[in-house]
Amino acid sequence: MSDATTPALRRQLVQHLPELRDDDNVRIQRFLDSAWAEHGLVRASLDSYRRDLEGLARWRDGAAGGLAGLDRAGLFDYLAWRSRHGWSPRSTARLLSALRAFFADAVRRGERSDDPSALLDPPKLPRLLPKALAESQIDALLASPDIDTPLGLRDRAMLELMYAAGLRVSELVNLPANAVNLRQGVLRVTGKGSKERLVPLGEESQHWLERYLAESRPQLTGKRNVPTPQDGAVPMFLEPSLHPVSRQQFWGLVKKYAVLAGIDPARISPHGLRHSFATHLLNRGADLRALQMLLGHSSLSTTQIYTLVAREHLQKLHAKHHPRG
């Protein structure tokens, strides 16, 4: 098979791998159940772990016992195959993270005595600074939806809320209807590791959220009862089918409104709104510790990367406007 060097070709390559074997599927599911129960991993992390582990299991196709019998040599062979086909260092680092968690669980269960990924160093990754939009671009993006339609009003409320509260995409689309307190103007958000935080709404996002709840949501639901998920949390933002808006759907909406706002869709992603929230607050003098709480970061070092973005912004301003810049 010829080397695949583009995402599309790599997807085709994965699609042609053998089907996942039942014994590997059982092991992967048992690990994911444990990761969810013990560590509170969110759905996006679980899905990422599943994709990485299933890719390795399908590539091995039961050889030498599948995942259960994987040794360092087999793991090296798989990593070499991925490297030949152009998977990125960042993708490989994520795979190694999934494997370490998977094999640590197997060792803890007594199913293995060793971890074949233990001595592998993750690839060195370049430090990527978050990409924030200019405030004028944010204004144009938020004004793009057609608020005279139920879906347009819903989309405006989602965009406003994501930027005002600095939400992760998963936090936004999984937001339950009872998470908002309009009287106090706060939002209860469940983030990574099932940790809860309270985030202020801000006047503008609260206005659009109130309009969505009063005007758009009743039109989308009609007289139908919204299905209640197993966890009992009825979703805030709905499709006409009464299903919640998915991550992929919201991604498509952001790209669509970027085009309408005159922004290159390649330069923006849903997470870019969260980056913009953080960067704009810092540029206006927000305290780093307060920003850490608003973003739901467990470590201050994660939040500190935004100070580099703010510093870069100030350096550009200085170079542009200072007589000796």
Long-range contacts of 155-159 (CB under 8 A, 24+ apart): 155/253, 155/257, 156/208, 156/212, 157/205, 157/208, 157/209, 157/211, 157/212, 157/216, 157/237, 158/237, 158/245, 158/250, 158/253, 159/254, 159/257, 159/273
Please pick, among 49, 163, 212, 306, the residue that the annotation labels catalytic. 306
Please pick, among 188, 192, 197, 255, the residue that the annotation labels catalytic. 192
Handedness of CA 293, 297, 298, 302 (dihedral sign): negative
Please pick, among 82, 274, 275, 280, the residue that the annotation labels catalytic. 274
Question: Residue 289 catalytic?
Answer: no
Smallest CA-to-CA distance from 163 within 252, 277, 283, 285 is with 277
Question: Residue 316 catalytic?
Answer: no
Handedness of CA 314, 315, 319, 325 (dihedral sign): positive
Cβ(189)–Cβ(175) below 8 Å: yes
Question: Residue 306 catalytic?
Answer: yes
Tokens 């091995």 map to which residue? 60
Question: Residue 297 catalytic?
Answer: yes
| 143 CB-near residues (< 8 Å, 6+ apart) | 261
Alpha-carbon gap, residue 273 to 250, rounded angstroms: 12
End-to-end CA distance of the chain, in Å?
A: 54
Q: Which amino acid is at 152?
A: G
Please pick, among 72, 256, 271, 313, the residue that the annotation labels catalytic. 271
Question: Residue 43 catalytic?
Answer: no
Q: Which amino acid is at 118?
A: A
Cβ(89)–Cβ(124) below 8 Å: yes
Question: Residue 320 catalytic?
Answer: no
| SS3 at position 199 | strand
Please pick, among 168, 217, 247, 280, the residue that the annotation labels catalytic. 168
Long-range contacts of 62-68 (CB under 8 A, 24+ apart): 62/21, 62/23, 62/24, 66/21, 66/23, 66/24, 66/27, 67/24, 67/27, 67/28, 67/102, 68/23, 68/24, 68/27, 68/106, 68/111, 68/112
Positions annotated as catalytic residues are 168, 192, 271, 274, 297, 306
